[in-house]
Amino acid sequence: MHPFVIDLVQKEFKYYLETHILSHPLCYNYSISFIGSVAFYFQDIIKALCEEYNLDIGEFIRFPIHSLINFHTCSK
């Protein structure tokens, strides 16, 4: 992957974590999961950033539809 793309993705995920995750008062009380193909393919970058901030990572789910189907069929 081109270094420019890596740098851009790192900056944007860092901004996301600082703005939406770290600003939440309970961010260290729970593990954080990431959903979708973008998160799935860039999970190495996301994992490194989460380690920087000592955030606990849950899972990376590429196709959320499968998890939604399992949730709704198993919860009855």
The secondary structure of the chain, three-state, reads: CCHHHHHHHHHHHHHHHHHHHCCCCCCCCCCEEEECHHHHHCHHHHHHHHHHCCCCEEEEECCHHHHHHHHHHHCC
Is a pLDDT exceeding 90 seen at residue 74? no
Domains of the chain, CATH where assigned: 27-76 (3.30.420.40)
pLDDT, tens digit, 9 for 90 and up, residues 19-49: 999 999 999 999 999 999 999 999 999 999 9
**pLDDT at residue number 71:** 85
**pLDDT at residue number 76:** 57
pLDDT band at 65 (very low <50, low <70, confident <90, very high): very high
